[in-house]
């Protein structure tokens, strides 16, 4: 009997140690309990803070998609990437945010093991890469419209735009599919309560994201600032030329130059907001791969919240920017709102 007790004392980890060990290797089928990361009050506040983002991201991005489907004048080549980006943000609120909250607030075998926890964060990572690829594609389209305004319609065709958008979705999904396959083959590693990812693929992905993410965001923002400057110079030349001649064609060229300038400014605002919201994420990835023994659980939770909250907040901003900067979307939103009010009042009258 003594030898049996010694065996269990040496080989079996007490349940109280399961959530405090930073490098815990959980036995298969041992830990089946489900609990919460924080107290009920903090969990409620956590969900309450994210609830407006969940609602707004679904409603306003759904409004962009609905307006694009309902109004033929919105189906322009330059609007296809904007609507695809709205679909991206719509899925962020509908799918990525609930799974993210599940991973942060629930502690169980499904949410804390490295192999299964990666599945919960996979949608947010896929949608982030898809957003970056969308913004790069929009930058290329804007750049072509500034450099080759006369040949823009022949260079940027509807088929090429749709093919590029499909490629953006495919590449982002394919990249993290390999990531998920690599993590699923890793040993059972407990991530919650300060644990870190140990699989080689996960560590490399997070470290590359930490290093590359700021460079990509700053580079995109600088590119859009360059395009805004170039569009402004074109508009300035058109205005000077139009003041000397009053041809109808020249006035139309001036209106096109003004539209390109306004579109470039709009996308610069979108990219600037995207960069500000996603830049802190590069710091949060550090906690996924580096041990933080010197930080308490409360400090780690606060830092993770401050880094992650702006990323989901960004999913609500683009439709607001479209409504403020794009007259077509602005008019479409007002028209949809008027239709909704008429139906609502008519239903109350009956």
pLDDT of 245 above 80: no
C-beta of residue 144 within 8 angstroms of C-beta of residue 157:
no
Q: What is the pLDDT of residue 108?
A: 82
C-beta of residue 83 within 8 angstroms of C-beta of residue 64:
yes
Q: What is the pLDDT of residue 18?
A: 37
Kindly report the CA angle at 90 between 340 and 181, in degrees rounded to 5? 160
pLDDT of 170 above 90: yes
How much is the average pLDDT of 285-291? 59
Q: What is the pLDDT of residue 238?
A: 75
pLDDT of 26 above 50: no
pTM metric for this prediction: 0.81
Q: Is 192 or 120 the better-scoring residue by pLDDT?
A: 120
Q: How confident is the model at residue 2 (pLDDT cuts 50, 70, 90)?
A: very low
% pLDDT > 90, the chain: 23
pLDDT of 40 above 60: yes
Q: Quickly count: other Cβ atoms within 10 Å of residue 274's Cβ.
A: 23
pLDDT of 94 above 80: yes
Ranges 9-18, 74-83, 96-105, 322-331: which has the least confidence = 9-18
Q: What is the pLDDT of residue 1?
A: 43
Rg of the chain in Å (alpha carbons):
25
d(CA 60, CA 57): 6
d(CA 148, CA 141): 10
């Amino acid at each position: 009997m003594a030898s049996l007790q010694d065996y269990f004392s040496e080989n079996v980890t007490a349940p109280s140690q399961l959530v405090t060990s930073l490098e815990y290797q959980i036995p298969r089928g041992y830990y089946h309990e489900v609990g919460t990361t924080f107290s009920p009050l903090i969990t409620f506040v956590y969900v309450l803070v994210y609830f407006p983002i969940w609602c707004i991201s679904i409603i306003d991005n759904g409004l962009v998609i609905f307006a694009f489907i309902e109004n033929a004048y919105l189906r322009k080549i330059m609007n296809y990437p904007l609507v695809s980006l709205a679909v991206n943000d719509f899925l962020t609120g509908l799918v990525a945010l609930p799974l993210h909250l599940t991973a942060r607030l629930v502690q169980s075998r499904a949410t804390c093991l490295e192999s299964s926890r990666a599945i919960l964060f996979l949608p947010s990572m896929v949608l982030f890469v898809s957003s970056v690829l969308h913004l790069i594609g929009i930058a290329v389209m804007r750049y072509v419209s500034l450099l080759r305004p006369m040949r823009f319609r022949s260079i940027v065709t509807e088929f090429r735009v749709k093919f590029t958008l499909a490629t953006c979705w495919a590449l982002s999904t394919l990249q993290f599919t390999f990531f998920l396959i690599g993590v699923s083959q890793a040993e059972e590693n407990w991530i919650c309560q300060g644990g870190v990812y140990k699989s080689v693929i996960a560590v490399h992905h997070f470290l590359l994201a930490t290093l590359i993410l700021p460079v990509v965001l700053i580079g995109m923002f600088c590119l859009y600032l360059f395009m805004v400057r170039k569009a402004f110079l074109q508009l300035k030349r058109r205005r000077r030329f139009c003041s000397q001649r009053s041809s109808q064609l020249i006035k139309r060229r001036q209106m096109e130059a003004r539209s390109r300038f306004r579109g470039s400014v709009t996308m610069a605002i979108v990219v600037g907001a995207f960069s500000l919201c996603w830049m802190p994420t590069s710091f949060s990835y550090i906690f996924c791969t580096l041990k933080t023994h010197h930080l308490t659980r409360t400090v780690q939770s606060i830092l993770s919240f401050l880094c992650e909250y702006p990323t989901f907040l960004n999913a609500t901003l683009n439709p607001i920017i479209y409504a403020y900067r794009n007259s077509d979307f602005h008019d479409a939103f007002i028209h949809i709102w008027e239709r909704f009010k008429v139906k609502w009042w008519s239903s109350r009258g009956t």
